[in-house]
Structure 1
Amino acid sequence: MEQSEMLQFLQQVAQQKVSPEEALVKLKNTGFTELEYAKIDTERTVRTGYPEVIYGAGKTAAQIVGIVQAMKQQKQPILATRVTAKKAAAVLAQEPQLQYDQIAQTLRLPAAQIEQNGEIAVVTAGTSDINVAEEAAVTAEFFGNRVTRIYDVGVAGIQRLFSKLDLIRRANVVIVIAGMEGALTSVVGGLVDVPVIAVPTSVGYGSHLNGLTPLLSMLNSCAAGISVVNIDNGFGAAYNASMINHLAQGGKDE
């Protein structure tokens, strides 16, 4: 709690607008919920504007259920990423109100009303990149962004990209997802006047090195305005894109 907020709160106690019992509960708030295996950051939205997201890989279904239940008690929107279908089935058996997306491998329980503002374009080089793209798209929508999906427009048939340029240029930020040599990022970066976030994927043949080749290609792009996230990190790309989009939309609304 910031100093100004603390002062205002204590004034409410002095004015008997807040009871001493309510004040004690608030002052004892540590900002996280303690579980045996996790500490859930209940103040993240206040600090950053975005809620905590559950990283499902490495967690058991029982652990995900416990975290979900604790977050529900705090009335927080819920998004879990990297949840396999088998693990999701076990979670859904106890929390059937969650929505599972098998392609994106996400479980989510959105807030009652999510207003989607601005626009993010999610562009893939190939169909094999769609699982990463859907992780990005679902995350971006969860964070309150409109998403346009433009899939399978890689440089091997570049006319496919040109046919979708109007859609891509309409967005406030573009996420470009590519495996193989990652060339699509530089091409898109040279055709748009908005930030491009590049996501290398672990899709490709031997010397592709499980995503290292497109990662290095994207980092060395000669097109300006490109930032790069880690291999297969659709979530991270969507988070950054959401921040950019909300800033851009805020400027347009003024």
Structure 2
Amino acid sequence: MLQDIKDGKLSVEEGTEKLKDLPYKELGFAKIDNHREMRVGYPEVIYCQGKTVEQVKQIIEFMATKNNNILGTRASEEMYEAVKEICPEAEYNKLARTITVKKKEIEVPDTYIAVVTAGTSDIPVAEEAAVTAEILGNKVERIFDVGVAGIHRLFNRLDLIRGAKVVVVIAGMEGALASVVGGLVDKPVIAVPTSVGYGANFGGLSALLCMLNSCASGISVVNIDNGFGAGYSASMINKL
């Protein structure tokens, strides 16, 4: 914006108008952090769960005026339908429960992020990670259902996994896949425990503890079912 003012493409008055929303925009029920991309490199992301349909719609309606790509996580289809009324270009990933609005092209690195799941039941969390990484400007390779119960499936995709700059490993049950992958690759591994599993899985606690106690080096662990956190961190690593 400052360069546009310097080049005469934008008047000082127009620039001043844009600056009025910094550092945040007050909507009453929310304060939109317009300064975040300047501070941390990525714009604010909307956690939709717990918000009303109208709140999500109003937040996205304002954010769309800033010409940034928009990501809403844990969103319902009802929220998506409301958003589509004001942003026809909005897209909904039913598995990931994400709303994305692409307002600008982002330069994508030549490197890629591998998103790996132990089972098919882990795919919703994996999709949240993948969609997050993609809207933040990354190439993603999805490798699904290669868990330790049939470990030969993992070995068949090992070249693709090893070629990634960072690997996101998503597993429920006992969460062993993260340790296996961590012992086979020379890249950072972000482990995501999921709440997939029977009673003694304790809603993902068994997988979380397994991943935290892994003897394989280079593994970092995010919260249970936190595909977004993994995708975001993977993007930061991929763009270093």
TM-score (normalised: structure 2):
0.91
CA contact (8 A) 2:64 2:103 kept: no
Aligned to 1:190: 183
Contact 1:65 1:95 in 2 (8 A): no
- 1:79-228 alignment, distance < 5 Å: 79-117=71-109, 118-228=111-221
Instruction: Report the aligned-residue RMSD.
Output: 2.2
Structure 1: give runs of 5+ residues left out of the alignment: 1-12, 248-254
Q: Say which of 39, 45, 48 aligns to 2:37.
A: 45
Show CA shifts across 1:100-140 (max 9, x none): 11111111112331332121000000000000000000010
Q: Which moved more, 1:95-104 or 1:59-68?
A: 95-104
Residues 57, 79 of structure 2: 8 Å contact kept: no
Residues 220, 70 of structure 1: alpha-carbon distance in 2 compared, 3 angstrom cutoff: same
Shift of residue 23 of structure 1?
Answer: 7.4
1:7-56, CA deviations, whole angstroms, 9 ceiling, x for partnerless residues? xxxxxx9xxx9977567657755411110110001111111110101111
2:230 maps to 1:237? yes
Give the deviation of 1:85 after TM superposition. Answer: 2.0
Cα-to-partner distance string for 1:56-109 (whole Å, 9 max, x where unaligned):
101111111101111112222211010122332233244332111111111111
Aligned partner of 2:24 among 20, 32, 36: 32
Give SS of 1:180's match.
coil
Larger Rg: 1
Q: 1:77 aligned to 2:108?
A: no
Distance 1:226 1:67, change over 3 A: same
Could you tell me whether the CA contact under 8 Å between 2:56 and 2:79 is conserved in 1?
no
Q: Matched residues in 2 for 1:230 and 1:129: separation? A: 14
Contact 1:116 1:141 in 2 (8 A): no
CA contact (8 A) 2:61 2:86 kept: no
Identical positions, percent: 61
Unpaired segments ≥5 residues, structure 2: none
State how far apart, in whole Å, the 2-side matches of 1:161 and 1:91 are. 39
